Structure 1
Amino acid sequence: MSDASQALQKIAKGTGIVFVGTVISMLFQFLSRAIIARYFSTAEYGVFNLALTVLSITLVIVMLGFQNSLPREIAFYNEKEPSKVPDLISVALIIVVVNSILWMVILILGAGGIAQIFNERELSYVLKIIAFALPFSALTGTITSISRGFGRVRERVYFKNIVYPTTFLVLVLFGTFLDFSFAFVFFAYVIAQAFTLVALVIDVWRMCLFKFDVSFDLKLGKEVVSFSLPLMITGILGFLMTWTDTLMLGYYLGSEIVGVYNSASPIARLLPIFLKSVVVLYPPIATSLYAQGKVGELRRTYQILTKWVFLLTLPLFVLIFVFPEAMIKFFFGANYLEASKTLQILALGFMVHAFLGLNWGSLIVIGESNLNLIGDFFAAVLNVILNAILIPFYGLEGAAFATTFSYFVANVFRSYWLYKKTKIHPFSRNYVKSLVISFVMLGLLKVFCLAVSNIWHAILLLLVFLSLYFLLILLSRSIDREDVELLLAIEKKWGVDFRVIKKVLKKFV
């Protein structure tokens, strides 16, 4: 078995639990948003999204890029200098605690000024509430990143992906059932984050994963911060690309339009769900191949994973892009149908991630994280410029186009430099055939299904589409040997019987 096949199987075996956790997290957070949108006014839902956007950007600054750097740094030191790992963990935790408290105070004191920028008086009050979630959320992210450095995903899945969104959803349901005020949503957010951290700390302590020692190695602190800062800046730029549309819509058109827009945005953000699952495990395994000089094996791993991510994302993309009215009406109600075209545009932007694959993570693997920073910087600036130009004239659709085009530019930039540095690209022969088939069938479906607004009719048409699509995939012999090996790994890990599928696939490999 080749190194690429072994790497793919390792990723496949661990991705299952990550995927389940990611699905639960995205689904429960999505349901929480849908309940808030239906129960409160569009203006209040807009305020909720503005507050969450400000908090998310602040959290990226608080974390200093540790969520991406700690898994790599802990794995590196655990291999080279195990004695330094406890000091590294202590340094990271101390920095995050101090930084989170500092920014919590800054956010509370600056809440009034932020509210004035968006001309939303209520935003000031809710920001002062939700700011208390910063230390809890930052420490949860840091501890789960530390556990990933030991090759574990359990803590991330159980607590960050399941405990927090479940707790928040239950609290939101409780508050709406008892007819609590809008402010309760933000108290619920803080309580959910605090409960998640306490549960996580108790579990880590019980499992003896690592000790919560208090020591501060200044030299080690400088090293980890200097390595993490470019990733932090990249994270800020990534959040700006994601949330600039929301912020600038709030600035130009007010919170009610933000509420309408954020009926489409959460649905579109469901699209990278498979990519997010894979990216948790891809960097350390890909780094091992690259460190051994096995660029060819890394290229093959990248191509197969990209093809799988695209194929798994395609059904959801078809449902969102071809039937946007059905999706919005089902989840948010008829009051938000104005955002249907916006949803289609945003879906294209988020699908670019799946189309081009793991380019962002691959640049980190080969030690070129600065290229991510450069690409995201230009894309973020472009996003702000386009939003400023388009929102006053085209409103929701203008904001969506600005975001989509910026994502396209960022991904093309990363893919170009990844290819230039390593000759790695996602376009294997079988992947190209899959793309051609999907584009042709998607065009035909879009032409012949113009007025479907019922979600169940849309799902029925989707099943017909997928049946024909995978039949054409088989007939065009777009199946790779590694695809079958991945199925075998999944079958062994999860005890699923793929006997019939394997017999069919072997005839077309």
Structure 2
Amino acid sequence: MEEADVSPRENPSESPNGSSKILRGSFLMMVSYLFFRVGGYLYRFILSRMLGPEGYGLVGLTTPFQGIFQVLSAGGFPPAISKFVAQHNAVDEKDMARQVILTSLKFMMVAGTLFGILIFFSADWIANFYFQKPAMVYPLQAVALITPFSVIVGALRGAFQGVYKMELVVASRAVEQVFMIGMAVTFVSIGFYAAGAVLGTAFGFIASAIVSIILLKKYVWVLFPKPVNKISFKDELVLLKTLLVFSIPVAITALSEMAIYDVGPLVIGRYLPAQDAGYYTTADPIARLPLIISLSVAAVILPAASEAASLKDKVLLENYITQSYRYVVLLVLPLCVGIAIFAQPLLSLLFGSNYIFGAPALSILVVGMTFYTLFMVSSSIIQGMGHPRLPMIILIIGTVLNIILNFLMVPMYGIIGAAVATTIVAFSIMVVILWKTCHITEVKLPYLDFAKIGFASAIMGLSIYFIPKMDLELFGTVIDLGLLAAIIIAPIIYTIIFALIGGFTKRDIRVVRRYSKKFGPLSGAVEKVVKFIDRFVK
């Protein structure tokens, strides 16, 4: 089916609504999340050195509360906006698509303000009673400034995704990152300590909210002209109820998702010194690096699956799902193998030698994130199919299990116990949701592709594992030349092995060639690689 030259309807990968939409949207979302991750790493790289393990540990213990109150304020509406805007737009209901955005914004702005007030007044109790760390009061109070603006950003990004304007998401994230880093460094430099880092995040969301509103007016409202007849208050309440029915399970799911990897820091902060939280907080974002790929695909597959389900196109749906899984595993698995092998050099390079004590936790935690990437894609597929409660139920069970395991293992094994607990839970929920996704969609997983990817990743891992360590100190930072060599060699080995075992398809060749001209000066090199791969494609 993949290689035959058929009509766009028969081969969804070649149609404007087929795999090209998934790939283009996923690529742009990947750029967006890359901005977010690269900016986040730069933020952590600078602040970890400015604050030290203890001060950075305080920021790390504040981050889960920032995420919790952002999710509570947003109420699960961004995915709901994405789904219903795509759904109404697919059947040419422009007025309803516009109203979904407006109604959601009203609700989210009120919720964001209320939860901002709540975190401000509860900060003292959280810092002094639970963590017994008075220095956390001001960073927690600074979170109150984030929530009202973060919900605006979340709502508008949901609207951008719903109309497949992923480039607007990239723009809003770029603005957020630039202001967040600049203001955080400024506030910490003038003596605001850990609270300054959180205030920098707040100013990043404020700037992003302003830019997102401008982008909405210029690029989205033109698609949904203002209706002649204004919707009644009663009808708007009905719409709000519909959105809440979908979004509340999504919000609970999001909270549970956060709990999968944020329970660890919260339990560590309870039993261990702040510097241990600093070690774990530096390991955690590196372990989440593969999520750039899964998040980008998940953001696109939700409205795409919703659209395919609305059109009752099983061929299109199957193509969306199998290709989403395949591309995620193709990129994520070798990346996770590399991170696990070079955990210590990565921590030393990014955060300094003071943080290498987090390396064992990183090597374990990145394995859990490998499992979690597949869970995220499956969760978005099921949500797009109209089953938001299923991921919620699975995650709630996983969260309870994670809390129990962390409280049992952290006091005994420290940060390694937190990493092991998270990995066990990630594997468990992945297995369950993959089984349910196949049952609901009646789509079989590409097991053969997974096996080939696993084999190529294993050979790559064995090859780079024996690269000798060659430390070089440059400007006070220890750089492992073996890590730099692995970054160059690993993709070459992986690509060659995967090509030799017939892992690539004609569709892969067509996709790469379609976008090869956008690589600029590297286009020639990309074409040579494609020609090499094409020799082994049947």
**Shorter-chain TM-score category?**
over 0.9
Counterpart position of 1:21: 32
Give the distance between the partners of 1:43 and 1:200, measured in 2 at CA: 35
Shift of 1:462: 4.0
Q: Deviations over 1:58-81 (max 9, x none)?
A: 111111111111111122233253
Distance 1:77 1:208, change over 3 A: closer
Which of 370, 374, 380 is residue 361 of structure 1 equivalent to?
Answer: 380
Contact 2:29 2:170 in 1 (8 A): yes
Q: Give 1:77's match in structure 2, choosing from 68, 88, 97.
A: 88
Correspondent of 1:51 among 55, 58, 62: 62
Residues 322, 449 of structure 1: 8 Å contact kept = no
How big is the shift at 1:312? 2.3
- AA matched with 2:40: Q
Please point out which of 100, 103, 109 is paired with 1:97.
109
Secondary structure of the corresponding residue to residue 40 of structure 1: helix
Residue segments in structure 1 that go unaligned for 5+ positions in a row: none
Answer whether contact 2:25 2:164 (CA < 8 A) is retained.
no
- Could you tell me which amino acid in structure 2 is paired with residue 186 of structure 1? V
On the 8 A contact 1:66/1:228 being kept in 2, the answer is yes
Could you tell me which residue of structure 2 aligns to residue 326 of structure 1? 345
Would the alpha carbon gap of residues 430 and 146 (structure 1) be closer, same or farther in structure 2, given more than 3 Å must change?
closer
- Work out whether 1:352 is the aligned partner of 2:371: yes
Report the TM-score, using the length of structure 2 for normalisation: 0.88
CA-CA distance at 1:420 after TM superposition: 2.2
SS in 2 for 1:9: helix
Map of 2:492 onto structure 1: 467
Can you list the C-alpha shifts for 1:1-55, whole angstroms capped at 9, x where unaligned?
4014432112222333322222122111111112111111322211112222112
- Verify the 8 A CA contact 1:315 1:462 in the aligned structure 2: no
Q: 2:343, 2:505 → 1: CA distance? A: 33
| Counterpart residue number, 1:118 | 131
1:91-170 superposed matches below 5 A: 91-115=103-127, 116-159=129-172, 161-170=173-182
The residue type equivalent to 1:471 in the other structure is I
* 1:3 is aligned to 2:12: yes
Instruction: Tell me the distance in 2 between the aligned counterparts of 1:304 and 1:82.
Output: 30
Q: 1:338 aligns with which of 329, 332, 357?
A: 357
CA distance in 1 between partners of 2:116 and 2:156 (Å): 19
The alpha carbon displacement at 1:206 in A equals: 4.3
2:449 is aligned with 1:430: yes
- Could you list the per-position Cα deviations for residues 372-409 of structure 1 after superposition, in whole angstroms to 9, with x for gaps in the alignment? 11111111111001001100100010001111111111
TM-score scaled by structure 1? 0.92
User: Is the Cα contact below 8 Å between 1:43 and 1:256 reproduced in 2?
Assistant: yes
- Hey, what's the Cα distance between the residues in 2 that align with 1:42 and 1:247? 16
Q: Which residue of 2 aligns with 1:310?
A: 329
Maintained 8 Å contact 2:364/2:420: yes
- Deviation of 1:286 after TM superposition, in Å, equals 2.9
State whether structure 2 residue 184 is matched by structure 1 residue 172.
Answer: yes
Native 8 Å contact 2:301 2:324 kept in 1 = no
Q: Which amino acid aligns with 1:144?
A: R
Change (3 A) 1:215 1:51: farther
Give 1:243 deviation, angstroms. 0.6
Q: 1:488 aligns with which of 504, 513, 527?
A: 513
The RMSD of aligned alpha carbons is: 2.5
Query: What is the rounded CA distance, in whole Å, between the counterparts of 1:187 and 1:10 in structure 2?
Result: 37
Structure with bigger RCO (C-alpha 8 Å, 6+ apart): 1
- Report whether the alignment pairs 1:204 with 2:216: yes
Displacement, 1:132?
Answer: 1.3
SS in 1 for 2:329: helix
Alpha-carbon spacing, 1:59–1:438, altered in 2? closer, same or farther (3 Å): same
Q: In 2, distance between residues paired with 1:202 and 1:421? A: 40
> Which string of whole-angstrom CA distances, capped at 9 and with x for unpartnered residues, describes residues 327-381 of structure 1?
0100111111111100000110111244677211121232222211111111111
Q: Give the superposition deviation at 1:227.
A: 1.6
Amino acid at match of 2:405: L
Alignment deviations for residues 425-470 of structure 1 (CA, whole Å, 9 cap, x no partner): 4334233222123224424644x35856643321213433332332
Match of 1:391 among 410, 427, 430: 410
Please give the alpha-carbon distance, in whole angstroms, between the structure 2 residues aligned to 1:129 and 1:188: 9
- Cα distance in 2 for partners of 1:188, 1:137 equals 13
Q: Tell me the distance in 2 between the aligned counterparts of 1:499 and 1:53.
A: 44
Further displaced range: 429-438 or 389-398: 429-438
What residue number does 2:528 align with? 500
Equivalent position SS for 1:280:
helix
Please give the alpha-carbon distance, in whole angstroms, between the structure 2 residues aligned to 1:85 and 1:289.
17
Q: Which moved more, 1:495-504 or 1:187-196?
A: 495-504
Counterpart residue type for residue 63 of structure 2: L
Q: Given the alignment, which residue of 36, 43, 48 partners 1:37?
A: 48
Q: Quote how far apart the aligned CAs of 1:117 are.
A: 0.8
**Percent of aligned pairs with the same residue?**
23
- In structure 1, distance between residues paired with 2:47 and 2:54: 11
- Number of residue pairs matched by the alignment: 507
Question: What is the alpha-carbon distance in structure 1 between the residues aligned to residue 330 and residue 219 of structure 2?
Answer: 38
The 1:431–1:314 alpha-carbon spacing in structure 2 relative to 1, beyond 3 Å, is closer
| Alignment of structure 1 residues 187-226 onto 2, 5 Å | 187-207=199-219, 209=221, 216=233, 217-226=236-245
> Which residue of 389, 396, 399 maps to 1:377?
396
| Equivalence for 1:61 | 72
State which drifts further: 386-395 or 466-475.
466-475
